[in-house]
Amino acid sequence: MAAAAYDPGERLDYTFSYLGILSGFIVIDISHARFVLAPQPLSLGGRPVYRASLDVTTEPFAEAELIYPFRYRYRSWLEPTHQTPLLAQEYLRADEIEEELLWFDRGRDLGFRYKKNRLPAGQRQRLPASLSAVLELDPQEWILVEDAHGQPLPAAGVWDYLSMLYRLRFAELATGRSLDLPVYNGKQIKTYRIEVMRERLIRGGWDRPAFKLSLFEVRQGKRRGDKITTIWISDDAQRRPLRFRVARVLGVFEGILETGRPSTAGDGELPEATRHSLELVF
């Protein structure tokens, strides 16, 4: 079953935690993330698109803010039918500030990557005025990088990282099925395989039927590397991402949906972080 329809104005809040070497193998909350789908579509190049947003910050968490203050913002303007993007904008502030823009030129099936102006004037092509008007950006501040002639995009469809998540929410999912989705990151096209299982999510206050999606990169049909991202999506018409889990060498990162989460804490129960620590370790 696929999700029934868009939920314009949807806002989903998450708390992300970390367990690993850097925390002494104790779970600590490190960031807040918010996904928002704009309440109304807009027109981009004559095509209706919804703006999907992701904002991540360490500001609410003193320990994380002290060690590695982090601000991240991602926007994707995606078409409602197949959730394919026309534009994506990324902002990162950590050690330094980085801003990028991806343009998916559907008329020519080419992808272009822009950065804030860090090169001498005239050295690279600048952002088309038609795009800058939609984004309310100064075209003189953005310069084309990478291949000035554009990255060829698959005519059948290609996504960015955020629109891929929405695509998975609206796809037909079934146990044992796998999907391959191409993703353009501004430098190259990577293919991600998504393997689907059903697994009831009983965690962080949730007790809900869900699809368990395992994502990893493939090249020429074979798995590349050992990085896996796991996402639990509710098995209902809402198709809400309930949990994210990313395992890396230095530890495990986990995100739990706070929006609509049942409250199960009571007197005498272990603190949330302690319960998560025990679950992850054992």
Report whether pLDDT(160) > 70: yes
pLDDT value, residue 128: 75
Which residues are within 8 A (CB) of 63 and not within 5 positions of it... i.e. 6 or more apart?
Answer: 28, 30
Q: Rounded to the nearest 5 degrees, what angle is found at the Cα of 240, between the Cα atoms of 7 and 225?
A: 125
Q: For 102-142, write each residue's pLDDT tens digit.
A: 999 988 999 999 887 655 555 556 777 777 766 767 766 77
DSSP string, 134-201: HHT--GGGEEEES-TT-EE--TT--B-HHHHHHHHHHS---TT-EEEEEEE-SS-EEEEEEEEEE--E
Instruction: Give the whole-angstrom CA distance, residue 231 versus residue 228.
Output: 10
232, 211 Cβ separation under 8 angstroms: yes
- With pLDDT > 70 as the criterion, what percentage of the chain qualifies? 83
pLDDT value, residue 95: 74
pLDDT value, residue 5: 52
Mean pLDDT of the chain: 85
pTM for the whole structure: 0.86
The residue type at 184: Y
Q: Which of 37, 16, 30, 184 is nearest to 100 (CA)?
A: 184
pLDDT confidence of 161, banded at 50, 70, 90? very high
Burial (CB count within 10 angstroms: exposed 0-12, middle 13-18, buried 19+), residue 127: buried
Report whether pLDDT(85) > 70: yes
Report whether pLDDT(191) > 70: yes
Report whether pLDDT(282) > 70: no
Report whether pLDDT(279) > 90: no
pLDDT value, residue 269: 42
Report whether pLDDT(271) > 60: no
What b/e readout covers 190-207, taking b as 16+ CB neighbours within 10 angstroms?
A: ebbbbbbbeeebebbbbe
Q: For 215-263, write each residue's pLDDT tens digit.
A: 999 998 888 878 899 999 999 989 999 999 999 888 999 999 999 988 7
Q: Are strands 11-20 and 28-37 parallel, antiparallel or unpaired?
A: antiparallel
Number of H helices, E strands in the chain: 4, 19
Report whether pLDDT(43) > 90: no
pLDDT value, residue 278: 39
Instruction: Give the whole-angstrom CA distance, residue 134 versus residue 83.
Output: 19
pLDDT value, residue 97: 83
Which residues are within 8 A (CB) of 175 and not within 5 positions of it... i.e. 6 or more apart?
Answer: 196, 197, 198
